[in-house]
Amino acid sequence: MSASPIVNNKLTVHKLSYYNYTSPLEFREVELKGYSETSFLGPTQILIKTKASSLNPVDVILYQLTPTWLKKDVLKGFGSDYAGEVLQTGSEVKDYKEGDRVYGDLLKPFGPNGAFSDYLVLDVTKEDKIGKIPDNLSYQEAAALPIAFGTAYELITKNHNVKGANVIVFGAGTSVGTYGVEIAKYLGAKTVLATCSPKSAAKAKEYGADVIVDYTKGAEHEYKEITEFVKKNGKFDLIFDSCRDPVFMGRLKDVLKTRKEGGKYVQVFGSTTMDYRTVTVASNLPTKGIMRELVASRLPFSKYEFISASISDGGDFIKAVADLSASNKLKIPIDSVFKPKDYKKALDKFYSGSFKGKLVFDFE
Ligand SMILES: NC(=O)c1ccc[n+]([C@@H]2O[C@H](COP(=O)([O-])OP(=O)(O)OC[C@H]3O[C@@H](n4cnc5c(N)ncnc54)[C@H](OP(=O)(O)O)[C@@H]3O)[C@@H](O)[C@H]2O)c1
């Protein structure tokens, strides 16, 4: 077990941080003071030695969109997904003890905590996405899970009973989509049709996709391949879209079962066409085609259910991760691992889009 880093009731942490989009994103030394004169931790807090974290689009989006006036004196922590070892627990913490390996997502926009920090202090009563790492997973693997796996798991399970269903995963080359394929098969989907580039096709198959459609050949090719499938196998029960694929906007009837038949189109809020170097509020907004589907879906007597959503309350993925890893079925797409000091290289890789899976940081 690691030694306590607390000295004189204070802890010095090194965290990747910023004030707003104009301030540099860099590791800063920050001194955390004790909760009270006699105890560094509050009764429901835990201290974690970070062992790994992973990068998500939302981390970059938040940094780029933080205006100069928003909580201007608060140093904002960068990053959300973490994995680490519990070093100390507050007097009322029952579920965690020293030495536990934990992981989670601490996404709290514009707050001081961030996963790219050598130590984390968390209040377990306020963290709903925290769990123990299954024994057969490494810290790096665990850190690659929370937001991407959690989003796919929450949005798929909240909206559909996948057992026996025919499912499309648009964007199986994204981390969320890769996990979407894996989760749909784990939950008993009959067939998963996945769209991705040829570079991601082998991975999508490895994660369980039955049919691959190459989206890089163009929208009409994608439309034709999928509607050919529909002619032979019937319409889809669930469409899980991690990349805002425009191909069926305005023509859901060609591919999706109606609301009465139980069909659902679930789109992850986000955009794979965004240039992450120059994020604007506008680049996050839904396209006209998506807006039309969202409005149509809310009209009385609408035939098709179309949902655009984000990860919200879900720590439910923790149990799915435990089940999948207990049966040795959990696969985790990691593209590469960086040392924290090389965060600029990792960001450059992220901006270039030349990666297939999660970009993970090794804090050990
Ligand atoms: N709202 C939420 O709660 C939430 C949470 C997590 C993620 N997200 C959003 O979900 C999206 C995916 O996130 P991620 O971290 O999984 O992404 P990612 O891993 O960064 O995805 C990169 C991959 O996307 C694929 N791609 C790019 N353009 C595409 C297109 N037009 N059609 C299909 N695939 C395309 C590429 O794979 P190939 O070209 O090789 O197939 C590329 O390797 C992002 O927009 C993100 O902001 C939202």
Q: What is the pLDDT of residue 233?
A: 96
**Span 245-270, average pLDDT:** 96
Separation of CA 310 and ligand 1 centre (Å): 13
Cβ-based neighbour number of residue 266 at 10 Å: 21
Q: Is the pLDDT of residue 314 over 70?
A: no
Eight-state DSSP code of residue 34: P
Task: Flag whether pLDDT at 312 surpasses 90.
Answer: no
Q: What is the DSSP letter of 359?
A: E
Rounded to an integer, the average pLDDT of 263-283 is: 86
β 45-54/166-170 pair status: unpaired
Q: Which atom of ligand 1 is nearest to the CA of 204?
A: 41
For the chain, report the end-to-end CA distance as a whole number of angstroms.
13
pLDDT, mean of residues 134-157: 96
pLDDT for 305: 96
Q: What is the pLDDT of residue 74?
A: 93
C-alpha 243 to ligand 1 mean position (Å) = 5
Q: What residues does ligand 1 touch, defined as CB less than 6 Å away?
A: 56-58, 147-148, 151, 171, 173-176, 195-197, 199-200, 215, 242-243, 245, 268-272, 310-311, 356
**Distance (Å) from CA 328 to ligand 1 centroid:** 26
Please state the three-class secondary structure of 281-298 as a single string.
HHHHCCCHHHHHHHHHHH
Percent of the chain with pLDDT over 90: 87
Angle between helices 317-326 and 175-186 (to 10 degrees): 70
The span from the CA of 181 to the CA of 353, in Å, is 21
pLDDT reported for residue 81: 97
- Model confidence at 99, in pLDDT bands (50, 70, 90)? very high
Per-residue confidence (pLDDT) for residue 230, from 0 to 100: 98
Pocket test for ligand 1, best of 174, 307, 310 (most atoms within 8 A of CB): 174
Does this chain's domain 10-145+332-362 share its CATH topology with 147-309? no
**Arithmetic mean of pLDDT, 123-140:** 94
Check pLDDT > 90 for residue 223. yes
What average pLDDT does the chain have?
94
Domain extents in the chain? 10-145+332-362, 147-309
State residue 281's pLDDT score.
84
Domain covering 10-145+332-362 in this structure, CATH number: 3.90.180.10
CA distances for 98 relative to 46, 50, 235, angstroms: 9, 14, 51
Q: In whole angstroms, what is the distance from residue 322 CA to residue 329 CA? A: 10
CA–centroid distance, residue 181 to ligand 1 (Å): 13
Give the mean model confidence (pLDDT) for residues 16-45: 96
184, 255 Cβ separation under 8 angstroms: no
Looking at residue 2, its pLDDT comes to: 62
pLDDT value, residue 272: 73
Residue 315 has pLDDT above 90, yes or no: no
pLDDT reading at 1 higher than 70: no
Query: Domain 147-309 falls in which CATH fold?
Result: Rossmann fold (3.40.50)
